[in-house]
Amino acid sequence: MTTQKSQRHLLPDLLKGIAVILMVQVHLTELFATPAFFNSLAGKISLFLGGLPAAPVFMAMMGYFIAWKGVSSKALLVRGIKLIGLGLLLNIGLNFHLLIKFLNGHFSGMNPWTYVFGVDILFLAGLSMGVIVGIQKLAAKRLLPWVLALLVA
């Protein structure tokens, strides 16, 4: 379903927007919710909706828009690398206070790198774009069926 005026795809745009809102609200819940809200039914619903349903919907809509726009492999690879970099910067920013405390000798038994390099939607989107580029290259050389056969075997 598209509108003729703007060529927007209403349903995919709506689904992507809802997924983004749910992912933002789950991060806000994780960072700022009181323990009472966090452990309540509303908190559990908030955590669920922002996790399992939101990320796959967002990724599916991302794939839909990549296919619809016909983005070149080079542009897609550059965008994927940028998303991985932005994901890393976001994780560093979110965990900067933790890193400072760790470097000052607090939390000696903890590994802070799991927080910095933790997988988030930006990492997943960037890696997925790289995989899409690889699949495009294999398909162009007619090697995709052979690779799939090897993976299945």
> CA 116 to CA 89: how far, in whole Å?
9
* Residues in the chain with pLDDT values less than 70: 1-6
Same domain, 76 and 145: yes
Count structural domains, the chain: 2
From 46, 69, 92, the end of a domain falls on 69
Same domain, 49 and 123: no
pLDDT at 60: 95
Same domain, 92 and 106: yes
**117 with 84: CB under 8 angstroms?**
no
Same domain, 93 and 53: no
pTM: 0.76
**129 with 79: CB under 8 angstroms?**
yes
Rounded to the nearest 5 percent, the helix, strand and coil shares of the chain are 75, 0, 25
Same domain, 88 and 149: yes
Q: Which domain holds residue 49?
A: 1-69
Same domain, 29 and 82: no
Same domain, 80 and 152: yes
**135 with 144: CB under 8 angstroms?**
yes
